Amino acid sequence: MKIIVVSDSHGIRSKLDKILEMHRDADLFLHCGDICLDSYEYPQFITVTGNNDYYDYPSEIILNLPHHKLIMFHSHMFGYFNRDKQMVKKAKSKGCDIVCYGHTHIADYRVIDGVHVLNPGSLQMSRDGRDTSYAIMHVDDTSGEIEVEFIFG
């Protein structure tokens, strides 16, 4: 399974269009918030609301994938300190073992206490000195093994 994960595009359609064009073979397109566009514009993306979104998106979404359960949110509702631990706790309380989140504009992937935690970075402005980014999550259909690749630029 190929899952495209983006966040923080802040209304920039050109990058979303390019991603959709480049990854026509993807099984899922996820947007972790701050899309800053109405839902009818990019129905291909499953989208949660961010702190800059003023449209009707849910604050979190849970998806049942083969071998995994994924929770997605923007993460602005969590405190700055120990944000990762707070997100893992929330995921576990919902029976999820994958977290996809946005808000920080920093690409990051770690496994914390058995939970895969992925921030694809930002399509608008990186906050860690690297270029803008998004992520491709590959979930092996047989084993459920997860691999994450970041695309910068």
Task: Give me the DSSP letters along 14-73.
Answer: HHHHHHHHHTTT-SEEEE-S---S-GGG-TTEEE---TT--S---SEEEEEETTEEEEEE
Q: Which helix (H) or strand (E) holds 117?
A: strand 115-120
pLDDT at 37: 97
- The boundaries of the domain holding residue 121 are 2-152
Report the number of distinct structural domains present in the chain: 1
Q: Which CATH number belongs to the domain containing residue 83 in this structure?
A: 3.60.21.10
Residue 48's Cβ-side half-sphere holds a number of Cα atoms within 13 Å equal to 24
pLDDT at 94: 98
In the chain, what percentage of residues exceed pLDDT 90?
Answer: 93
pLDDT at 39: 93
144: left (phi > 0), else alpha (psi -120 to 50), else beta? left
